[in-house]
Chain A
Amino acid sequence: MIVSKAFWKIVLKNIGSIISPTIVLLMFGTISATSTSSTMTYEARKPAIVIFNHDEEVGMTKSFISYIDKNAEIKTDYKDDDRLKDALFYENVAAVVEIPENFHQDIALGHKPEVKLRSSAGYVAEVAKVMIRRYLTVAEGYAATNLSEQALVERVDKAIVDDVETEMQAPVDTSKFAKASRYYSFANYTILSCFITIICLIMSAFNRTELRKRNLVGAIDIKKMNLILLKNCCLYALAAWAFYVTVSVFVLGTDVMFTTQGLLYAANSFVFAVMATTVAYLISLFGLTAGAVNGVQNVLALSSSFLCGAFVPIEYMPESVVLFAHALPSYYYIDANDKIMNLSDYSFENLLPILLEMAVVAGFTILFVIVANIISKKRRKIA
């Protein structure tokens, strides 16, 4: 078909513009995968954790602090928030745990009290986060069985000791998934950048007023032509996504990617790639020039990647920025990557938050498709 032929000729002509974000991803992935020796890092030191306890140190609260004390080094000399931020930045402190008021009662009653957690970047922080979340998951699980607080403490203490011992013997897995998480979170930038650039450049070429007029007087139904273009955009997106996943298999290894978590990373990135395709298609309807496409691509891909934690952990961002990031699909994609990394088992309860974040990204996709349809219909009415 002549339209498809022209589409791929234009892709090849513009291939240079997507090489640089792809190379950056490859470099980032390779450096990330070879930068740390995970086993050494884990065994060398326990994570340093600062606790702010707003509750009485009794019952479940006491159990929780004692669990942290057993598995980490509790730091008590960080009262000043600025110093604490510096310590997090320089990784002198792996995580800050804030236990809310009435924690021990609320958790016993099955209320899931919110334990605030801030962490630094890097492997040690990831281990600390996994450790803390594991305690809370186990505690919330047992609390659902209506035990008394005393019985709950005993059951959790017993379960968590066994559990932690198992985890401590397999530290490498967590580290590898942290690398996978970083690779796929960085892919947020690459996918957005490459998809917006190529799809916008091609669709803008076909949607230029003069060319549209020529296509409109042609013997092919313009709706059919748009459908062909859309199909080719999807084919390009699928090929690019498959390429990035294949690269991740080589960079991160089969022992990471050929696991359930590896598949989840791939699935999450697929949902995001579909969303990125619709965003690119939507932008392309505005008939931007090549220069404008470049500008839009930079603004959207770079800013959303930065704001949503693809480059710098989101914990370092001011609250207002984090709040704003919630309005962007990248936030849910990157957060899902973090959740996949911290996945301890594949129960539906653990998978649900990840699936929900994928659903949010899919929701954005539907929204963009609806908006694109409205704009497309308006543009069809030339007169």
Chain B
Amino acid sequence: MKNVIEVKHLTKSYKSNKAVDDLSLTVKEGEILGLLGPNGSGKTTTMNCILSLLKYDNGVINIFGKEMKPDAYDIKAKIGVVFQDVAVFDELTVYGNIDYFCGLYIEDKTTRAQYVEDALKLVGLEDNKGQYPKQLSGGLLRRLNIACGIAHKPSLIFLDEPTVAVDPQSRNNILEGIKKLRDNGATIIYTTHYMEEVEILCDRVIILDHGKIIASGTNDELKSLAKIEEKVTIEVPDLAPEKLAGFDKIKNVSEVEYDNGVLKIVYGKGKNNLADMVEYLKANKINYNKIFAERPTLNDVFLELTGKELRD
């Protein structure tokens, strides 16, 4: 697969603060690339530099094999952007807004009308097309924001935290819509600080912190960096200190934490850890209410690499 975006040694500073620090990345055709990082990690700045909305200090940015510049309208014609903040006209209806932003790319009225209808369908706003933005809920407004960004059927789409402050129903709808866009052949850059969304959506993930790439790869590749095989959580209302000490000695256990009646055990490696743990609890006559196991998350990867959580 060919590269749609190539960024080499991108650096952007605000006075003495380096927002993006010698960042290089590639995005392959047809993939969903997740840019994951906490607030202030440089995700949006990177995106704005790639889109030529910000001047950068150093680096080379090529999109579709050509240098990206503010007046590269042939490249821009193939790009769709959904910004974090809702950007629509309050004075235009849902249909009017989508029609306007689609019209910045598509001149033919018949084609545009079809594209607008397609966008309405994709985000599930067919029943709201006559309404004004102020009449929409927060979730529907976000969906409109997305429809405005992708109505012209771009082959490269930037989505900057499109699900911030969205209800679960709208979030699912948005995520389904993004999958459909990818299925239709679009290449997508998805920036977020919600690791669950990245895990569901993205083919490849880049984790950013302080403007630098600290890890990149597929979900599984990244999770292998966490040095955790499994996490087991057990609700144990009363646990005597001498019994707690015994957990450290169990095979493959690398970490034990007990707080407020909840026991968290981290396994560094091994298989069937949960079954072994159930046996251990039974053998030692430790009463418990609930027990479950989890695979490591991208948050664990981030914690392993930076010593802090993604949402810190």
Q: Which residues of A contact B (CB under 8 A)?
A: 2, 5-6, 9-10, 13-14, 205, 208-211, 213-221, 382-383
Question: Closest residue of chain A to B72, judged by CB?
Answer: A219
List CB contacts (< 8 Å) of B35-63 with chain A: 51, 53-55
Given contacts A219-B76, A219-B77, A221-B71, contact A210 B86 (CB under 8 A): yes
Q: Find chain A residues with CB under 8 A from B150 CB.
A: none
Binds A, one of B101-109, B181-189, B207-215, B296-304: B101-109
B280 at the A interface (CB under 8 A):
no
List residues 81-118 of chain B with CB under 8 A from any CB of chain A: 81, 83, 85-92, 96, 99-101, 103-105
**With a CB–CB cut-off of 8 A, which chain A residues contact B71?**
221
Known pairs A6-B89, A13-B91, A213-B83; A383 contacts B54 (CB<8 A): yes
Other-chain contact of A217, B53, B85, B103 (Cβ < 8 Å):
B53
| Residue on B nearest A215 in the bound complex, by CB | B104
Residues from chain A with Cβ under 8 Å of B87 in the complex: 208, 210-211, 213-214
What residues of chain B lie closer than 8 Å to A209, measured between beta carbons? 85
A208-B100 Cα distance, complex, nearest whole Å:
16
CB-CB under 8 A from A218, the residues of chain B are 76, 101, 104-105
B interface residue numbers (CB < 8 A to A): 51, 53-55, 70-71, 73, 76-77, 79, 81, 83, 85-92, 96, 99-101, 103-105, 148-149
Given the complex, which residues of A lie within 8 Å of B79, measured CB to CB? 217
Interface of B is mostly: loop
Question: Which residues of B are found within 8 Å of A10, using beta-carbon distances?
Answer: 89, 91-92
How far is A219 from B52 in the complex, measured between Cα atoms in Å?
Answer: 13
- For B54, what are the chain A residues with a Cβ–Cβ distance below 8 Å? 382-383
Q: Do residues A219 and B105 form an inter-chain contact, with CB atoms below 8 A? A: yes
Of B51, B54, B88, B104, most buried by chain A (CB within 10 Å of CB) is B104
Q: Closest residue of chain A to B76, judged by CB?
A: A219
How many Å from the CB of A5 to the closest CB on chain B?
A: 8
Q: For chain A, what secondary structure do more than half of its interface residues adopt (helix, strand, loop), or is it mixed?
A: helix
Beta-carbon contact of B148 and A214 below 8 Å: yes
Minimum CB–CB distance from A336 to chain B (whole Å) comes to 37
B92 CB contacts on chain A under 8 angstroms:
6, 9-10, 13
A210-B86, A219-B104 given as contacts; is B55 within 8 A of A383 (CB)?
A: yes
Q: What's the Cα separation between A215 and B101 when bound, in Å?
A: 8
Are the CB atoms of B89 and A2 closer together than 8 Å? no
A203 to chain B, nearest CB (A): 12
- Contact of A211 with B89 at beta-carbon distance under 8 Å, contacts A9-B96, A219-B104 already known: yes
- Smallest beta-carbon distance B107→chain A, Å: 8
Q: Nearest chain B CB to A87's CB is how many angstroms away?
A: 53
Query: Which chain B positions have C-beta within 8 A of A215?
Result: 104
Complex interface: chain A residues within 8 A of B53 (CB): 213, 216-217, 382-383
Nearest B-chain residue to A2, judged by Cβ: B103
Within 8 Å by CB of A2, from B86, B90, B104, B148, lies B104
Do B73 and A219 touch (CB < 8 A)?
yes
A205 and B90 within 8 A (CB): yes
Q: How far is the CB of A2 from chain B (nearest CB, A)?
A: 3
| Cβ–Cβ < 8 Å partners of A210 in chain B | 83, 85-87
CB distance from A183 to the nearest CB of B (A): 32
Asked whether, in the complex, the Cβ of B105 is within 8 Å of the Cβ of A205, the reply is no
Q: A213-B53, A217-B53 are in contact. Are A205 and B91 (CB under 8 A)?
A: yes
Please, how many angstroms separate the alpha-carbon atoms of A177 and B40 in the complex? Answer: 67
Residues of B within 8 A of A5 (CB): 100, 103
A9, B87: Cα distance in complex, Å? 17
Residues of B within 8 A of A383 (CB): 53-55
Are the C-beta atoms of B89 and A214 separated by less than 8 Å?
no
A205–B104 touching, CB < 8 Å? no
Contact indicator B101/A214 (Cβ below 8 Å): yes
One of B55, B83, B104 near A220 (C-beta < 8 A): B104
Contacts of A221 in B (CB 8 A): 71, 73
For B101, the chain A residues whose CB sits under 8 A away are 214, 218
Interchain residue pairs with CB less than 8 A apart (30) = A2-B100, A2-B103, A2-B104, A5-B103, A6-B100, A10-B89, A10-B92, A14-B91, A205-B89, A205-B90, A210-B83, A210-B87, A211-B89, A213-B53, A213-B81, A213-B87, A214-B81, A214-B83, A214-B101, A214-B149, A216-B70, A217-B51, A217-B76, A217-B79, A218-B105, A219-B104, A219-B105, A220-B73, A220-B104, A383-B55
